[in-house]
């Protein structure tokens, strides 16, 4: 399927020297852009370092509209979510946002998503791209009153990320937006309609997601143009390359990038424990959930892998999936892989995630081999970057 122009492509790329047609004519899928649910998602709009700086120093936007949006409703909606997810969602207050994960029966991470609990009987699940109808259909057989629909077309949305993101939304007239706590959400009147604003993000920095009916799109664009003038900055788009760097600096994972997400080879998949997502798994709650038995066994018997960070100082053609070799008892051994890698503009080195075999979890140094040459690799704890404003309340303006 040919990728189409996303809702805000023209707006996010307005400082670039191309339009959509010329971009597509001179770009290659998977090299320059990703086909995200039928829409074009560039790796870079103009300059990857400029996009990164916009987040760390100003404000930048990501068009989240192509995400799949499942609405789950009914008296058993909370129990249904508790059964699917690895921790209880029914106990969350409403309205509330949260980062949610779920597994298959083997305890391998199936997917993750941002979940919005709008009421005890109403949830909105934002999934990147994988369809989950088969999982949901099987799970809902256990409950009398729960229904879900793919409501993707009902909402447009953006991630508003960066040091000046609260200030940008404040300029919309959203009084008190800076007082939202992490994962708190609030509804604001906007341009004759309503906008849902949640303090969440995937950049390891201060950030928000905004969701609204598609017919408010032009008013949203105009409001960001006004915010640019008030703040004296450019507020443009950022692409996948910047997402990769920012999320790895924050030690965040992506199913399908840090795992195969195909479930054909167990060695290519990881459990939440193996991805440093143990904090999102509650094995002590009494109710059953998908994968609980397998995760209990893993807790008792140990995990195969641990997630760490890595650093490589030398410039090289490093690719996702590179093998890490280390000297173990006087012999070279493959101790793990680098599922996701990125060049850090601040550190001026390669950084990323390292999936290391548990038996070698304490190894501090190794190397990767590229075209016959060895490049030293340091292993370290995550995250690489902790930005205080990410959780500050009130958020800086």
Q: Given pLDDT bands bounded at 50, 70 and 90, which one contains residue 233? A: very high
CA atoms within 13 A on the CB side of 306: 15
Asked whether the predicted pLDDT for residue 365 surpasses 90, the reply is yes
pLDDT tens digits, one per residue of 289-321: 999 999 999 999 999 999 999 999 999 999 999
Asked whether the predicted pLDDT for residue 394 surpasses 80, the reply is yes
Backbone dihedral angles phi then psi of residue 199, each to the nearest 5 degrees? -85, 85
Tokens of 384: 């690489």
Q: What's the confidence (pLDDT) of residue 304?
A: 98
What is the average pLDDT across 106-133?
Answer: 95
Query: How would DSSP label each residue in 64-81?
Result: -TTSEEEEEESTTHHHHH
Asked whether the predicted pLDDT for residue 179 surpasses 80, the reply is yes
Asked whether the predicted pLDDT for residue 287 surpasses 80, the reply is yes
What would be the CATH architecture of the domain defined by 9-65+155-238? 2-Layer Sandwich (3.30)
Q: Where exactly are the structural domains of the chain?
A: 9-65+155-238, 68-153, 304-384
Helix (H, G, I), strand (E, B) or coil at 23: helix
Asked whether the predicted pLDDT for residue 163 surpasses 80, the reply is yes
Helix (H, G, I), strand (E, B) or coil at 202: coil
Tokens of 265: 């080879």
Q: What's the confidence (pLDDT) of residue 383?
A: 96
Q: Answer yes or no: are the C-beta atoms of 169 and 200 closer than 8 Å.
A: no
The residue with tokens 């609405």 is 71
Q: What's the confidence (pLDDT) of residue 199?
A: 98
Q: What's the confidence (pLDDT) of residue 207?
A: 98
Helix (H, G, I), strand (E, B) or coil at 161: strand
Instruction: List 237's β-bridge partners, or say none.
Output: 61
Q: Given pLDDT bands bounded at 50, 70 and 90, which one contains residue 27? A: very high
Q: What's the confidence (pLDDT) of residue 123?
A: 98
What is the average pLDDT across 116-123?
Answer: 98
What is the average pLDDT across 172-179?
Answer: 98
Asked whether the predicted pLDDT for residue 151 surpasses 90, the reply is yes
Among residues 379, 241, 378, 371, the alpha carbon closest in space to that of 316 is found at 371
Q: What's the confidence (pLDDT) of residue 31?
A: 95
pLDDT tens digits, one per residue of 60-101: 999 999 999 999 999 999 999 999 999 999 999 999 999 999
Asked whether the predicted pLDDT for residue 130 surpasses 90, the reply is no
Topology of the domain comprising 304-384: Elongation Factor Tu (Ef-tu); domain 3 (2.40.30)
Of residues 265 and 8, more confidently modeled:
8
C-alpha angle with apex 141: 137 to 144, nearest 5 degrees? Answer: 120
What is the average pLDDT across 358-375?
Answer: 96
- Quick one: angle between helices 133-140 and 77-84, nearest 10? 120
Arithmetic mean of pLDDT over the chain: 96
> Which is it for the CA torsion 346, 350, 355, 360, positive or negative?
negative
Pick the CATH number of 68-153 from 3.40.50.300, 1.20.1250.20, 3.30.70.1400, 3.40.50.620: 3.30.70.1400
Q: What's the confidence (pLDDT) of residue 65?
A: 97
Taking residue 105's Cβ as centre, other Cβ atoms within 10 Å add up to 11
Q: What's the confidence (pLDDT) of residue 266?
A: 87
Asked whether the predicted pLDDT for residue 1 surpasses 80, the reply is no
Asked whether the predicted pLDDT for residue 49 surpasses 80, the reply is yes
pLDDT tens digits, one per residue of 314-355: 999 999 999 999 999 999 999 999 999 999 998 999 999 999
Asked whether the predicted pLDDT for residue 129 surpasses 90, the reply is no
């Amino acid at each position: 399927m040919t990728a189409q122009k996303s809702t805000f492509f023209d707006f996010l790329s307005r400082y670039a020297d191309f339009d959509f047609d010329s971009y597509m004519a001179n770009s290659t899928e998977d090299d320059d852009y990703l086909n995200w649910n039928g829409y074009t998602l560039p790796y870079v709009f103009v300059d990857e370092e400029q996009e990164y700086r916009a987040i760390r120093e100003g404000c930048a936007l990501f068009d989240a509209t192509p995400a799949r949006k499942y609405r789950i409703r009914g008296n058993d909606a909370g129990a249904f979510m508790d059964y699917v997810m690895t921790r209880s969602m029914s106990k969350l207050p409403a309205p509330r946002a949260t980062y949610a994960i779920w597994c298959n029966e083997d305890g391998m991470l199936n997917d993750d998503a941002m979940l919005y609990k709008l009421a005890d009987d109403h949830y909105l699940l934002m999934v990147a791209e994988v369809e989950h109808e088969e999982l949901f259909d099987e799970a809902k057989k256990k409950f009398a009153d729960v229904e879900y629909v793919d409501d993707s077309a009902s909402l447009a949305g953006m991630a508003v990320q960066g040091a000046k993101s609260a200030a940008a939304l404040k300029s919309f007239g959203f009084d008190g937006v800076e007082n939202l706590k992490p994962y708190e959400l609030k509804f604001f009147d906007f341009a004759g309609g309503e906008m849902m604003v949640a303090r969440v993000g995937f950049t390891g920095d201060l950030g928000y997601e905004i969701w609204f009916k598609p017919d408010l799109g032009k008013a949203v664009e105009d409001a960001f143009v006004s915010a640019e003038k008030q703040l004296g900055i450019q507020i443009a788009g950022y692409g996948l390359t910047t997402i990769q760097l920012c999320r790895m600096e924050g030690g965040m994972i992506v199913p399908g990038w840090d795992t195969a997400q195909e479930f054909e080879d167990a060695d290519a998949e990881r459990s939440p424990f193996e991805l440093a997502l143990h904090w999102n798994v509650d094995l002590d709650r009494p109710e059953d959930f998908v994968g609980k038995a397998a995760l209990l066994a893993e807790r008792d018997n140990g995990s195969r892998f641990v997630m760490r960070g890595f650093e490589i100082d030398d410039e090289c053609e490093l690719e996702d999936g590179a093998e890490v070799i280390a000297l173990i008892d006087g012999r070279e051994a493959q101790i793990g892989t680098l599922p996701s890698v990125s060049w850090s503009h601040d550190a001026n080195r390669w950084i990323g995630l390292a999936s290391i075999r548990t038996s070698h979890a304490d190894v501090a140094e190794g190397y990767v081999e590229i075209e016959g040459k060895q490049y030293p690799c340091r292993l370290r704890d995550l995250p690489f970057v902790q930005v205080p404003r990410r959780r500050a309340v009130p958020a800086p303006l």
